[in-house]
Every structure is written in structure tokens, then in C-alpha cells.
């Protein structure tokens, strides 16, 4: 994965500020432990009424997946130690079965906090051969055996077939990764 190198760390700091803003907005909601979109919809009847509160309504998740880290390798990025990783997974986008492959970089900000950036490619298992790609940014934190992160997904305009609904979409997401076996879950909502 190739990332732009910049001597000016203010770009990185601005990205982190954007991520923190997204994190604050995403803290408004919580996810159910279940990964099934149907199960989540049935159990999530407590959506905040924005007419009574100044809260964001995010609705139901549109992308749910299970993924695994295929490999990790230490790298140096802009003079800082980081970890590059490759992952793959499968799940559903609006009840359409999909496969996913991606890569990213995790940059420690402190002993427990990481800044995470990357990209991923999604394809359907349907005859239309739908494809989509996205970039992501997140803030992660470690908890004993878990690595949790919250962030934003920015879909490209090149989505095709049954995944064309993802073109230019922005989403917010939460992940949870078991550090012992590198297996994780990902749940994303469209940010309208």
C-alpha cells in the first residue's frame, strides 16, 4: 500500500481531528453484539428522535462483515513506527453477500490509541459482478484482548452492479478485533 509522505505533520494532525470529530458523532450510537443485519434491526428500536434531541439518526447498518487479518508487518511511515496489515472478509451489504479484501496502516498515537488508515475492495457473489472500493480512517484503542476502532468510510464513485448504491457514500463504522486470533467484526451505517 502506498501512502503519501509529507514532511508537514499538520496534515496528519488534521486527519486525526477529523477522525476524532467522527468518533464523537459515532459515540451517539451503540451496536448490538450480533452481526446479522436482520437481528440488529429487530433489536435496535431505540433510535434517538432528533426532533427532541440534537442527535444524529443513523438508522440500520447497511454493511456487516466478519474479517481476518492475513498478515501484519512493522514499517516506518513519516519517521514513525507503524504496522501495515492486509485483511479479507465476507458479509452483507443490504442483504447482498459480499467478499472483501483490503490493506491498511495502524500508527500508534500512544500506548493504547492508534490512528488507522487504509482502503478496501468489495465484490458480490451475484451474477452482476458488483464491485465497490473505499478508503477508511479510524481511531483505535486497545482493551486487554480486543482492538476496537471507530471511523469513517469514503466510497469511490466507481461502484458497479448491485453495489452501485455505494457510489460516493460516506459511512461511519465500528470494528472489534480479537488480538489473539486476528478475527474481527465490522458494522457500518450510511452517514446521511
pLDDT (tens digit, 9 = 90+) per residue, 22-54?
A: 444 444 333 333 344 444 444 344 433 434 455
Q: What is the CATH number of domain 10-46+54-190?
A: 2.40.160.20
Report helix, strand and coil shares of the chain as percent, to nearest 5.
15, 50, 35
Per the model's pLDDT, the better-predicted residue between 103 and 12 turns out to be 103
- The model's pLDDT over 53-71, given as tens digits with 9 standing for 90+, comes to 556 667 789 999 999 999 9
Q: Which pLDDT value is given to residue 128?
A: 80
Cα dist from 171 to 33, 34, 60, 134, 166, whole Å: 19, 19, 12, 10, 9
Strand ranges (DSSP E) for the chain?
63-77, 80-93, 96-108, 113-124, 131-143, 146-155, 170-178, 183-190
Radius of gyration of the chain from its Cα atoms, rounded to whole angstroms: 17
Domain map (residue ranges) of the chain: 10-46+54-190
Please indicate, yes or no, whether the overall pTM of this predicted structure exceeds 0.85. Answer: no
Three-point CA angle 161, 165, 169, nearest 5°? 135
Name the more confident of 38 and 95.
95
Return the residue matching grid coordinates 481476518: 68
Amino acid at each position: 500500500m502506498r501512502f503519501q509522505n509529507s514532511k508537514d505533520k499538520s496534515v496528519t494532525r488534521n486527519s486525526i481531528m477529523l477522525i476524532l470529530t467522527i468518533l464523537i458523532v459515532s459515540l451517539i450510537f451503540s451496536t448490538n453484539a450480533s452481526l446479522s443485519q436482520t437481528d440488529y434491526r429487530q433489536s435496535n428500536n431505540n433510535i434517538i428522535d432528533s426532533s427532541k434531541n440534537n442527535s444524529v439518526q443513523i438508522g440500520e447498518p447497511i454493511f456487516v462483515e466478519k474479517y481476518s487479518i492475513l498478515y501484519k508487518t512493522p514499517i516506518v511511515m513519516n519517521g514513525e513506527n507503524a504496522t501495515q496489515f492486509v485483511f479479507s472478509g465476507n458479509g452483507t451489504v443490504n442483504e447482498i453477500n459480499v467478499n472483501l479484501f483490503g490493506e491498511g496502516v495502524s500508527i500508534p498515537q500512544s500506548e493504547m490509541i492508534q490512528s488507522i488508515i487504509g482502503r478496501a475492495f468489495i465484490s458480490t457473489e451475484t451474477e452482476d459482478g458488483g464491485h465497490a472500493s473505499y478508503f477508511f480512517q479510524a481511531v483505535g484503542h486497545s482493551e486487554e484482548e480486543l482492538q476496537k476502532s471507530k471511523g469513517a468510510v469514503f466510497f469511490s464513485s466507481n461502484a458497479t452492479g448491485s453495489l452501485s448504491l455505494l457510489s460516493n457514500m460516506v459511512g461511519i463504522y465500528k470494528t472489534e478485533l480479537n488480538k489473539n486470533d486476528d478475527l474481527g467484526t465490522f458494522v457500518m451505517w450510511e452517514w446521511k
